[in-house]
Amino acid sequence: MNIEALPFAYEFDIARTALVLIDMQRDFIEPGGFGETLGNDVALLEAIVPATQRMLEGWRQAGGLVVHTREAHKPDLSDCPPAKRNRGNPSLRIGDVGPMGRILVIGEPGNQIIDALAPVEGEIVVDKPGKGAFYATGLHEMLKRRGITHLLFGGVTTEVCVQTSMREANDRGYECLLLEDCTESYFPAFKAAAVEMIRAQGGIVGWTAPSTTLLAALGHP
């Protein structure tokens, strides 16, 4: 399959491609979560949910593999270094009790993926202790066992966990495409810059395209 993208057309085989949705969690997207306690406007992230939901449904109907990630730490925080927990001197830190339970801790309500994008049976769910989806997760091995060579990315935030995961994937040999309307940042200028970085210099990290282009190719205009 071939779709229009930047900096040039993106070619992929559905059977060898996975849709990777990064950290679409309540703590980042819903009011009252960790993202809002840091002073961010979560409405910016909420705005991509409809497009991401359409993309997810279309990809499922096409029979494609789906990967969901959650930024998540063990309850004892043994996988959360102080350099991460204390960064930015927040009013609430990772592991503290917030409105949705302990922040970014495995099993807590706020750590769950939002209902609109909840995983279904057969989809991969990865709890990652870092920004990148490949750090300390075993994701690379899971994908290689399934013969995956191409990755479609969406999720939050564009310039942090999404871009980090795309760069990790690129270094491991995956051909990556960012779905521009299925990703967002608390800082729109940061998203714009990240999108440009990803596709610069002939696609140094990967390709970018709107999800509508991909859905149309899948027969879901």
Residues labelled catalytic: 23, 128, 161
Written as six digits, the tokens of 217 are 């190719």
Pairwise CA distance, residues 66 & 200, whole Å? 27
Sign of CA dihedral 164, 55, 140, 16: negative
Given a contact cutoff of 8 angstroms between Cβ atoms, the answer to whether 77 and 86 are in contact is no
Hunting for tokens 């800082």 — which residue is that?
187
3-class secondary structure, 147: coil
Tell me which amino acid residue 107 is.
Answer: G
Pairwise CA distance, residues 174 & 149, whole Å? 5
Going by their DSSP bridges, the two strands 65-71 and 124-128 should be labelled as parallel
Continuous segment of H or E residues that includes residue 195: helix 188-203
C-alpha distance from residue 144 to each of 18, 60, 178, 183, 207 (Å)? 11, 20, 20, 25, 21
Given a contact cutoff of 8 angstroms between Cβ atoms, the answer to whether 174 and 149 are in contact is yes
